[in-house]
Amino acid sequence: MADVAREDFDRLLLSDNPAAAVRQALADGSLDRLIPEIRREMDVPQRTRYHHLPVLEHSLQTMALMPPRLDERLAGLFHDIGKRRTTTIKERTGEEQYIGHAGAGATMTRAILERLGYERHLIERVVRWIARHMDLHMAARDGTSLKARRKLLGKVGEDLEVLQHLQLADIASMAPQIAEEHGRRAREYHELLATTPRAE
């Protein structure tokens, strides 16, 4: 099979089964020349109780759960690409942790999308969503006071809906015992945000 071009890659992401389409393009090697970072950075295990899949498979599943818009599918695919470069080990448990992976992933994704020639506004959206994809996770964990919720809403602004999509897709692709509980908490927090008056 010939190498995948940028336009072909877009079609893979927007297909009815984007995870299977990308898997096939990786299996036959046709995607490697266009985006070698997918295999090099993402085909790595995740040794943590939160995940049962390697970064790549988790990301493919996350991407497939995103709405069929190119920018949202790109964010789903690349949201965890920074994990390999930020992996450290927790001394107490021996589990991996990925402190700063959202920012690292945003930087890496910008370089990829610019190299591929995507338009500037799409790149800015995707990079911003990846950089912020942990915000809802952290906000729900750290507190649900009105002040905290208003601060979050002010921070994410018009990105809220996409970040909610990304959070739920991310959670659904985690280890099953984690996904059920975290998904419930996330949906409850989303409902709380929907009733939060914006700061004047």
Mean pLDDT of 90-96: 91
Determine the residue type at 11: R
Question: With 70 as the cut, is the pLDDT of residue 36 above it?
Answer: yes
CA atoms 72, 163, 155, 158: torsion sign: positive
Residue 18 in this model has a pLDDT that exceeds 70: yes
Question: Distance between terminal CA atoms of the chain?
Answer: 57
Can you give the pLDDT at residue 69?
98
Whether 142 shows a pLDDT value over 80: the answer reads: no
pLDDT, mean of residues 6-28: 97
CATH class of 6-194: mainly alpha
For residues 91 and 114, give the distance between their C-alpha atoms in angstroms, rounded to a whole number: 38
- Is 147 or 15 the better-scoring residue by pLDDT? 15
What's the angle, vertex CA 146, arms to CA 160 and CA 181, rounded to 5?
Answer: 60
Look up the pTM and report it: 0.95
Rounded to 5 degrees, φ, ψ at 143 are 155, 150
Q: Average pLDDT, stretch 63-67?
A: 98
